Structure 1
Amino acid sequence: MSMNSQDCAQVRDGFPRPFPNTPTNVFDQLSLKEAGAHVAFWYNSNEAAIKMAQEFATSHSIKTQAYKVDVSNADSVQKSITEVVKDFGKIDVFVANAGMAISKPILEQTLEEYHKQMTVNVDGIVYCSKFVGEVFKRQGFGNLILTSSMSAKIVNVPVDQPVYNATKAFVTHFGKSLAREWREFARVNIVSPGFFDTKMGASPGCINEAYRMSSLGRQGHTKEIKGLYLYLASDASTYMTGSDVLIDGGYVLP
């Protein structure tokens, strides 16, 4: 979009907006405990989240609750978000992290496998964003963090997961669009991980690619990504929205 000198000289009504009333000390900015944070856990097949929620409540002296949710089902997502608001009173931060991958070339992948990935990685993101966005708009504030992938932005993507790569490209661009659409009431940012050693796992070929292409020569450990989500969820990142943060061990470097 082009702008002329007259456009640049125009003053927007209600601008500049005030700085947020957040702590000056960076340690206080990063502390969700300082903000009185409580945690709602979502799970589908792994009921370990129930025990984890109980342990978090005890160890951090906070309120927690685990909810069984199928993110590929719009009714399930809407119902669960309604329950979270009822139980906690509000939603400050929502992390849309559910995802799956079927590592097969498209000529070997069934249409059922294709649709399964789309319902989780694309539809699930849309459902979560739509229904939590309605909450954010009512509240007048909110913070959405979407999990995408480095595969959404590189040419040398793993060749055996084309559908997964495409779904993550959707997540990245959808998140950027939401950041613009929701600019009056919520922030939206995207995390794009490289290869991490998770239970979802990757094919041997993909893992070998991680060792070969990553500057650090390994996969990432899940403990190495927690701080990024904390930063985006906290008051330390109040001037960030629409950002796509890459954490990939240097995989996409030239």
Structure 2
Amino acid sequence: MTQQSIRRADPPLSDSIFKMFQMHGKVVIITGGTGGIGYEIGEELAYSLEKEFGVKAKSYQCAVQNFEEVQACTDAVVRDFGHLDVMIANAGIPSKAGALDDKLEDWHRVVDVDFSGAYYCARTAGQIFRKQGSGNLIFTSSMSGHAVNYPQKQACYNACKAGVSHLAKSLAVEWADFARVNCVSPGYVDTPMSGDCAFEMKEEWYGLTPIERDCDPRELKGAYLYLASDASTYTTGADIVVDGGYTCR
């Protein structure tokens, strides 16, 4: 008897690195895409600015903490666009207090959006990816899933993002036959989420960040584009930390 290799075939790839990064013909869902990180991702993937980029785009209203809404919106995208290539589970909200001072309803709200909402997006997309035989899931996690931030107290947010990062690794293994799953973990980003933070707190953040500033959302585009495109076909289970060196200390 001759032994047969279980090695899978390589994906069809271009020799051009520029073509590998192209998103032509790909259908992408981005949750939380109306501003901040999500908006910048959408612009880079030619999703959110129909007139400027000449692509078909559509917005859907969805509360990610409601599984039925996530399912309905994802199904609507497939009806409208024919298939789904990439799900970017990006929607999230911050904690505003430490574990003992957080109101229970606020704790549950952050868990529902940041962790359960991420899972709901993964579940609905994963069902489609398995049926298609291909797909790509990208979570927005956080450096807060890797280190405890200071001086703000946000145990709930930190725990949720650590859960998202580990969920991504778990799904990368479970879905290896039909989809890739990865994370981007930003550091402090200049978005409305951090807009109401006190000046003194931000100064402490900068002092703890080797680059000594926060991130412009546009500086995250490359990480998401890499993971969403064919430039990363051998990348799964990765968590790309973009934090100005915060977690290196």
TM-score normalised by the shorter chain: which range applies? 0.7 to 0.9
Q: What is the CA-CA distance between 1:199 and the residue it aligns to?
A: 1.0
Q: What is the CA-CA distance between 1:158 and the residue it aligns to?
A: 4.7
Q: Per-residue displacement from partner, 1:183-206 (whole Å, max 9, x unpaired)?
A: 000000011110000111163365
| Code of the aligned partner of 2:243 | D
Structure 1 residue 161 corresponds to structure 2 residue 154: yes
CA distance in 1, matches of 2:219, 2:33: 24
| Code of the aligned partner of 1:245 | I
CA distance in 1, matches of 2:240, 2:72: 30
Q: Per-residue displacement from partner, 1:137-177 (whole Å, max 9, x unpaired)?
A: 00000000001111111255554111100000110001100
Greater mean deviation of Cα atoms: 229-238 or 151-160: 151-160
Candidates 128, 139, 142, aligned match of 1:135: 128
CA distance in 2, matches of 1:55, 1:145: 17
Candidates 97, 101, 105, aligned match of 1:104: 97
Report what 1:31 is aligned to: 22
* 1:7-46 paired onto structure 2 within 5 Å: 15-33=6-24, 36-40=25-29, 42=31
Structure 1 residue 231 corresponds to structure 2 residue 231: no
Report what 2:239 is aligned to: 244
How many residue pairs were aligned?
Answer: 237
* Identity within the alignment, %: 41
Q: Any stretches of 5+ residues in structure 1 without a counterpart?
A: 1-10
**TM-score relative to the length of structure 1:** 0.86
Q: What is the CA-CA distance between 1:107 and the residue it aligns to?
A: 2.1
* Alpha carbons 2:182, 2:236 under 8 Å: kept: yes
Looking at both structures, which has the greater relative contact order when contacts are Cα pairs under 8 Å and sequence separation is at least 6? 2
* Partner SS, residue 179 of structure 1: helix
| Code of the aligned partner of 1:32 | M
Report what 1:190 is aligned to: 183
CA distance in 1, matches of 2:166, 2:123: 15
| Code of the aligned partner of 1:240 | T
**TM-score relative to the length of structure 2:** 0.88
Which of the two has higher C-alpha Rg? 1
CA distance in 1, matches of 2:175, 2:30: 24
Report what 1:117 is aligned to: 110
Structure 1 residue 126 corresponds to structure 2 residue 123: no
